[in-house]
Chains A and B, each alone.
Chain A
């Protein structure tokens, strides 16, 4: 059997890549993809523990997460379309209306 730690390692890698993607990338789509990547990493983690401890609670959580991710995708993409319509760009750094100082 492949050991638990390898699966954990893979899912942590996926999660970390996702986190770095959220922080370091400016393109909205890439941020969205990174968020999905984070979710996938976590679901992998959950499923691994379900398999290794023979407990189906984690699998139930996984199905829930997938469903929510789908709903979230719908909203996320609509919001991206709205944002694109307002600023005609996919660069997240230019949405600064809620800040204090000269740019508000």
Chain B
């Protein structure tokens, strides 16, 4: 049913961004504006968005309706009609709920984190703009409007990663993120175009594509499914377009928490779920997606075991967990994948925010060994960090267990034992490196303890709220075998996800197996790191510690090659060959002219002789012509 409220979910943070930007310009040009104003606008508008979403959610629960809102016709040319309209169905509102909620909490956190920074207002303007773009993505009714949000979050990610732009490393990281995303977008755009022409529908909205999908030939559907996933590869940092994510940690921690943990990176998963009607029909592509997810998960986990920067460890862990989500949606278990998105948002954001709290308390120190050497007493952060680490390792009854286990069971049920095996091993590694992180930072013996520590309520309050989510969110999708109602799965029935239906004993065994694997990881980490000598940090040598040299490889193949090609085109082809050809033609004319001009040598006798010759020729010609 129609509602005018949907667009306000987006407009609230958008207006917040514009207001903050305006105030910020005033702040730098005329006179200072207090941080309070930026904070109030910056955190108030996401809260408004959340409240509207909550209201719509409750209405949907009660009445079982779907909300739509059509603003205007965006383009109407020939067969192509695209409407600027929004769709608030179960999936969209589900995503929107946790995006706005977690977003709001991170905005509050950012008040404390960015305190005293010159660009405080600018930060909140960008942050609100990001949230607005993410909501456009989630609430879009057709792929093009989704793409507007998709690129919008890409741009905001660029702006925020390069927030401290004076330092060129940050800007380079921002460029990398944007361009890697763009490679993905290239695929996405082509996927949409292929899909539109294959389906032959009139307007380009998800519902019409779904209705007409049988018109399309299977090859074209496979092609567009693949291309759309290329976009997801870029946005959600899967192999091979993941290289931007670790570098993106150059931005301030709140954005790592929001963008690169909870929201933007999950847009790829959302997109696959949104196109479920497409992917359910092309199972090969789905399998491909699942394999990419599995390998990305494994790859990232291996690298994370040797990283020494706290944010980079968390970044690789995000990529790893995203791999799990793609395993799920690739195999058709859309609601399980989205459930993992949901739980992951809580504990990953919390982990990042905790890491940020530590980083600030120790004056922007990010190396885990140095952090340990100057350990500070931060009880709340310690507690929430521990909660997060346990949750991500998949220990019941914390939320991570339920979502991860559902995915592993799905892989097992579908007969994809290789994926299941990779998933289990990765779970082991996850527990291992996360607890490595925990033990080094909080447990390994250290000599001195910092005294001057800074933390504030705006940092700790969101952490506590999220920890509740990390612990309890599992119960929202409590599996049936334990007597729960699987509410998330029920909510997302529109996706026609596959469901787990195996015998209870198999399920219990699988659950036990995943718990054992996780506990094994913790034990190995405990053995190695609980009493680690932090004053002798691990070496940074070796293939794994150097991230398998992928960055260097990409640099050589793409960046250096492009530069060489560019120089070649510019200096050789353009200047020498093409322009050279034209200039040669001109120079030939000029030199010919010069040669002819030597006749004009001002020598009188030469002229006389010339005249003689000329006249003689004329006479001879006339003689012959006139036949005399």
Contacts and interface: CB of A to CB of B under 8 A. Distances in A.
A95 to B, nearest CB: 7
Interface SS of A by simple majority: loop
Contacts of A26: 605
Interface string B601-612: 111110011001
Contacts of A96: 601-603
B597 interface: yes
A78 interface: no
Contact of A93 (B594, B603, B612): B603
Interface SS of B by simple majority: helix
A33 to B, nearest CB: 14
Interface stretch (A16-24, A46-54, A62-70): A16-24
Contacts of B600: 98-100
A92 B604 contact: yes
A24 B603 contact: no
Interface string A4-37: 0000000000000001001111100001000000
Contact of B608 (A23, A95, A97): A23
A92 B603 contact: yes
B609 A101 contact: no
Given A23-B608, A93-B603, 15 more contacts: A23-B605, A23-B612, A25-B605, A26-B605, A95-B604, A96-B601, A97-B602, A98-B600, A99-B601, A100-B594, A100-B600, A101-B597, A101-B598, A101-B601, A103-B602
Interface in B197-221: none
B343 to A, nearest CB: 88
A24 B604 CA distance: 11
Contact of A19 (B594, B601, B602, B612): B612
Nearest to B613: A23
Contacts of A31: 604-605
Interface in B562-617: 594, 597-598, 600-605, 608-609, 612
Give the interface centre of B602, B604, B609 by most chain A CB atoms within 10 Å. Answer: B602
Nearest to A99: B602
Interface in B516-572: none
Interface in B208-236: none
A31 to B, nearest CB: 7
A96 B609 CA distance: 16
A19 B594 CA distance: 29
Interface in A47-104: 92-93, 95-101, 103
A46 B598 CA distance: 38
Contacts of A97: 602
Given A19-B612, A23-B612, A98 B605 contact: no
Contacts of B602: 95-99, 103
B598 A22 contact: no
A23 B603 contact: no
B597 A22 contact: no
Interface in B433-457: none
A24 to B, nearest CB: 7
A13 B354 CA distance: 118
A99 B600 CA distance: 6
